[in-house]
Amino acid sequence: MSVEVPQFPGFRMTTLGNGLKVIVREVHTAPLASVWCWYKVGSKDERPGLTGVSHWVEHMNFRGTTNIPRDQVKGIIEQFGGSWNGYTWIDQTTYLETATRDALDRMLFIEAERMGSCLYDPGDCEAERTIIISELQGGENDPDQLLDQEVTATAFKAHPYRHPTIGWLTDLQSMSRDDLYGYYRRYYVPNNATLVIVGDVDAGEAVRRADQAFGAIPPGDLPARPRLVEPEQLGERRVTIRKEGTTAYFKAAFHAPAVTDADFFPMLVLDAVLSGAKGMNIWSSFRTPPPQRSARLYRALVERGLASAVNAALLPTEHPFLYVVSATVNEGASLDAVEAATLAELDAVRARGIDADELAKAKSQLRARLVFENDSVTNIAHQIGYFETIAGVDLYHELPARVAAVTADEVADVAARYLQPSTRTLGWFEPLAGGGDAR
């Protein structure tokens, strides 16, 4: 059945006979098209012993298919002057191509091949093992990234959000080709996927072409997905990493609502007041620094010379995740001072909320970010697919209205409930002058 959305002309949703959801949005500003294929599988679907398998499978799916030799995967799109990529995170895995509109059939062909015909040559699996382990070790040499990983693993006890998307080293060392291929065949089926096409296309014709490319791929029997609920945190947790380095880092993590929770948008406004508005596009929003000059944490830490940078992140996720405040400690300042100043600012907003001017400025900045992060067919296609994967595309259409509806009382309420000392996890990275590695 095909559904059109009246308030968005040229927007069509269709489910093919094999269960593949196809969403098309016509955007006729340039002769371009962007194709994203989304799979509802990410690191939250992994069990101990297979952490990192979603990300590794993503790598393998660029290694050639039955009808696309590995050395031609890149060239198919690049000959049209286009770009391609993909990523894996906690809730999803996705692949994209953006090129001129006359490349639409080639883009659909690539994604249909990726869904049904990847090869998983044993030699390629071993080559990717080496690449991914090197990537993991490179991340561990980044103190901020390492601290983020350890804080997340400490904040969660039960939910698989605690595992890093790249996986734990021992699992990457032991996983087999059969583990990878079996995971691919379980989750890379049309009834677990959403195909998004945005650009200078006719919606009806784009759906017909998608059906031609994907319609013959059979659906699969999806594994049961138990809903794991993280137990309530009853006391402050801490993690300290002491390792060779030159800069100290501080993090404070608080359990945060899922994107479908009524508390999410008041928390989003709260974050804009504390650290600057960042929008909701994890593909592009965080590449542009947020406006921070009037943000509370910037004034408390950077303007006072305690930190060279302060950031925070509230990300839209299917299940409750984390709100994380991060600070890079200035040379000459101490982790104790940065922690005290950060927690004092969070305690202040928890006790007194925000004022009307802060609310108005935060909402204005968020509205602007929502516009900027839909500035291309690639970004529009990302947002449609991302929100369809975690919550449903209707929420994507409601974002401006949901931000506009937030009140100062709602912000004060979520600050009081979510920023409690008993539910926080604090992280320190203390650099050692040389040698040593104690955690």
pLDDT per residue rounded down to tens, the chain (439 residues): 556 655 567 899 999 999 999 999 999 999 999 999 999 999 999 999 999 999 999 999 999 999 998 878 777 888 888 999 999 999 999 999 999 999 999 999 999 999 999 999 999 999 999 999 999 999 889 999 999 999 999 999 999 999 999 999 999 999 999 999 999 999 999 999 999 999 999 999 999 999 999 999 999 999 888 788 999 999 999 999 999 999 999 999 999 999 999 999 999 999 999 999 998 999 887 778 888 989 999 999 999 999 999 999 999 999 999 999 999 999 999 999 999 999 999 999 999 999 999 999 999 999 999 999 899 999 999 999 999 999 999 999 999 999 999 999 999 999 999 999 999 999 999 999 764 444 4
Structural domain includes residue 201: yes
Same domain, 122 and 251: no
Q: How confident is the model at residue 126, as a pLDDT? A: 98
Q: How confident is the model at residue 14, as a pLDDT? A: 97
Helix (H) or strand (E) holding 86: strand 83-88
Same domain, 49 and 111: yes
Structural domain includes residue 304: yes
d(CA 133, CA 77): 28
The alpha carbon of 239 is separated from its chain's Cα centroid by a whole number of angstroms, namely 24
- Decide: 87 and 94 in contact? Cβ < 8 Å: yes
Non-local CB neighbours of 117 within 8 Å, separated by 6+ positions: 65, 66, 67
Structural domain includes residue 66: yes
Q: How confident is the model at residue 3, as a pLDDT? A: 60
In angstroms, what CA-CA distances link 294 with 10, 278, 383, 416?
A: 40, 14, 28, 22
d(CA 368, CA 344): 29
Same domain, 210 and 334: no
- Tell me if residue 230 is catalytic: no
Backbone angle region of 36, left / alpha / beta, with phi > 0 → left and psi within -120 to 50 → alpha: beta
Structural domain includes residue 220: no
Q: Can you tell me whether residue 218 is helix, strand or coil?
A: coil
In angstroms, what CA-CA distances link 73 with 60, 69, 87, 193, 362?
A: 12, 7, 16, 21, 43
Nearest Cα to Cα of residue 95 among 144, 60, 49: 60
Q: Which of 214, 248, 269 delimits the end of a domain? A: 214
Same domain, 274 and 137: no
Nearest Cα to Cα of residue 190 among 285, 115, 81, 100: 115
Nearest Cα to Cα of residue 323 among 273, 363, 366, 398: 273
Same domain, 129 and 23: yes
Pair type for strands 307-314 and 322-329: antiparallel
Same domain, 156 and 257: no
Structural domain includes residue 224: no
Q: Which of 214, 245, 268 delimits the end of a domain? A: 214
| Number of independent structural domains in the chain | 2
Q: How confident is the model at residue 71, as a pLDDT? A: 79
> What does pTM read for this prediction?
0.94
Same domain, 180 and 249: no
Structural domain includes residue 112: yes
Same domain, 246 and 326: yes
| Catalytic, out of 26, 46, 58, 388 | 58
Same domain, 245 and 210: no
Q: Which residue range forms the structural domain that includes residue 291?
A: 237-438
Q: Can you tell me whether residue 384 is helix, strand or coil?
A: helix
Same domain, 185 and 252: no
Same domain, 357 and 402: yes
Structural domain includes residue 88: yes
Which CATH number do you get for residue 191? 3.30.830.10
Q: How confident is the model at residue 257, as a pLDDT? A: 98
d(CA 39, CA 192): 6
Same domain, 62 and 204: yes
Structural domain includes residue 351: yes
